[in-house]
Amino acid sequence: MVNFFSLTLNPKQAAVGVTVSETAELPQALAQLGLSNSRPVLVIVGGASQISEADFLRIQSLFVEVLAPTAQRLGAYVVDGGTDAGVMRLIGKARSQINGEFPLIGVAPTGKVILPEQTTVLSEDATPLEPHHTHFVLVPGNNWGDESPWIVQVATVLANGAPSITVLVNGGEITFIDALNSVIAGRLVMVIAGSGRTADKLASALHRNAIDERAKQLAASGRLQTIALEAAKEDLINTFTSLLLT
């Protein structure tokens, strides 16, 4: 069943959301959110942990100077995990910082999020929703990672034939699952080399220097590419723009 709801996560912006119980409901749910037009889709997965302050600042610049402006210029949908942590927080803040207007859609498991004015927390590691997102799709699940296949499905429905890519930054164990689900869906995964952890393991695999077997298998799919976090801003912008236009 699809249930529509509205949210006030920050005083400058209202948000809307839906809860769904099965993937067949997604077209109806997204249309109810006003997200029925085919557009390019940028999926963002990963994290921002176990890195130096200098690397964090470079990752932050990637979001503020490259990813958010590219989404804004192309009128793209941006899809992520929707919670107030890691890359979700970074893209939310970047959208706010550039006064972006692109739809920012968070997909999260109902059992792991804390809604405004919620008095009962279902899980010790439940997390609030990121306050600069515009739309939320809450999906069945009580574990982190349950949202991963749903993120892929939401992106596919939103794109509706338009180009879509997954950008993978840093990340931990669940990021391997995110990458695999994108690969299974036939979506290109652009790995940000130099951003740490899972991203660097995958980048190493693409250069045939991997130890991690999961990374080797994903690299062998032919659906992964890599670009360096330290690449020139113009090169990063041109790369993502080209991928989202073709």
pLDDT at 121: 65
Whole-angstrom distance, CA of residue 158 vs CA of residue 112: 24
Name every residue whose Cβ is closer than 8 Å to that of residue 15 and which is 6 or more positions away in sequence: 6, 7, 8, 9, 129, 133, 134, 135, 136
What is the pTM (predicted TM-score) of this model? 0.95
pLDDT at 145: 95
* Per-residue pLDDT tens digits for 6-35: 998 888 888 999 999 999 999 999 999 999
Taking 50 as the pLDDT cut, the residues of the chain under it are: none
Which domains does the chain show, CATH number per domain? 3-245 (3.40.50.450)
* Average pLDDT score, the chain: 94
Beta-strand relationship, 41-46 and 77-80: parallel
